[in-house]
Amino acid sequence: MVPRPLAERLALTPTRSQGVVIAGGQREVWPIAEVHLTLDGQATTTPCFIAPAGPPLLGAVALESLFLAVDPVAKRLIPVDGFVG
Protein backbone atom coordinates (compact mmCIF):
# COMPACT_ATOMS: atom_id res chain seq x y z
CA MET A 1 0.00 0.00 0.00
CA VAL A 2 1.25 3.46 -0.86
CA PRO A 3 -0.35 6.82 -0.07
CA ARG A 4 -1.73 8.76 -3.03
CA PRO A 5 0.96 11.52 -2.91
CA LEU A 6 3.71 8.89 -3.19
CA ALA A 7 1.81 7.05 -5.94
CA GLU A 8 1.64 10.31 -7.89
CA ARG A 9 5.40 10.95 -7.45
CA LEU A 10 6.09 7.39 -8.64
CA ALA A 11 3.70 7.88 -11.59
CA LEU A 12 1.73 4.74 -10.68
CA THR A 13 -1.20 4.10 -12.99
CA PRO A 14 -4.25 2.45 -11.40
CA THR A 15 -5.56 -0.49 -13.41
CA ARG A 16 -8.65 -1.24 -11.33
CA SER A 17 -10.35 -0.49 -8.01
CA GLN A 18 -11.28 -2.78 -5.14
CA GLY A 19 -13.41 -2.48 -2.03
CA VAL A 20 -11.46 -2.52 1.24
CA VAL A 21 -12.43 -2.62 4.90
CA ILE A 22 -10.26 -0.30 6.99
CA ALA A 23 -9.81 0.08 10.74
CA GLY A 24 -13.11 0.54 12.51
CA GLY A 25 -14.97 -1.47 9.86
CA GLN A 26 -15.37 1.43 7.41
CA ARG A 27 -15.70 0.35 3.77
CA GLU A 28 -14.03 2.26 0.96
CA VAL A 29 -12.98 1.67 -2.65
CA TRP A 30 -9.28 2.16 -3.38
CA PRO A 31 -7.45 2.10 -6.72
CA ILE A 32 -4.89 -0.64 -7.41
CA ALA A 33 -1.74 -0.34 -9.53
CA GLU A 34 0.80 -2.96 -10.54
CA VAL A 35 4.12 -2.08 -8.90
CA HIS A 36 7.58 -3.38 -9.79
CA LEU A 37 9.75 -3.63 -6.70
CA THR A 38 13.23 -4.88 -5.97
CA LEU A 39 14.57 -5.81 -2.54
CA ASP A 40 18.07 -7.20 -2.00
CA GLY A 41 18.42 -7.97 -5.70
CA GLN A 42 15.12 -9.87 -5.93
CA ALA A 43 12.51 -8.32 -8.22
CA THR A 44 8.78 -8.89 -8.57
CA THR A 45 5.59 -7.23 -9.73
CA THR A 46 2.72 -7.05 -7.28
CA PRO A 47 -0.69 -5.38 -6.98
CA CYS A 48 -0.58 -2.33 -4.72
CA PHE A 49 -3.44 -0.41 -3.11
CA ILE A 50 -3.26 3.36 -3.42
CA ALA A 51 -4.51 4.76 -0.12
CA PRO A 52 -5.68 8.33 0.52
CA ALA A 53 -2.95 8.80 3.16
CA GLY A 54 -0.71 6.95 5.62
CA PRO A 55 2.66 5.26 5.57
CA PRO A 56 3.72 2.89 2.77
CA LEU A 57 3.23 -0.75 3.80
CA LEU A 58 4.77 -3.92 2.39
CA GLY A 59 1.98 -6.50 2.52
CA ALA A 60 1.74 -10.27 2.54
CA VAL A 61 1.36 -10.67 -1.25
CA ALA A 62 4.49 -8.62 -1.96
CA LEU A 63 6.46 -10.48 0.72
CA GLU A 64 5.36 -13.88 -0.59
CA SER A 65 6.24 -12.83 -4.15
CA LEU A 66 9.77 -12.01 -2.94
CA PHE A 67 9.93 -15.29 -0.92
CA LEU A 68 10.29 -13.38 2.34
CA ALA A 69 8.64 -13.67 5.75
CA VAL A 70 8.66 -11.51 8.86
CA ASP A 71 10.74 -12.57 11.86
CA PRO A 72 8.86 -10.63 14.57
CA VAL A 73 11.39 -11.43 17.31
CA ALA A 74 14.44 -10.18 15.40
CA LYS A 75 12.33 -7.53 13.60
CA ARG A 76 13.67 -8.40 10.17
CA LEU A 77 12.71 -10.09 6.91
CA ILE A 78 13.98 -13.62 6.34
CA PRO A 79 14.16 -15.66 3.12
CA VAL A 80 11.77 -18.60 2.85
CA ASP A 81 11.29 -21.44 0.38
CA GLY A 82 8.37 -21.38 -2.01
CA PHE A 83 5.40 -23.55 -1.03
CA VAL A 84 3.48 -25.61 -3.55
CA GLY A 85 0.55 -27.63 -2.38
Give residue 82's pLDDT.
87
Would you place residue 77 in the very low, low, confident or very high pLDDT band (cuts 50, 70, 90)? very high
Report the C-alpha gap between 80 and 69 in whole angstroms: 7
Structure confidence at residue 85 (pLDDT): 79
Measured CA to CA, the distance from residue 47 to residue 62 in angstroms comes to 8
**pLDDT greater than 90 at residue 66:** yes
84, pLDDT greater than 90: no
Q: What is the pTM of this model?
A: 0.84
Helix H or strand E segment including 59: none
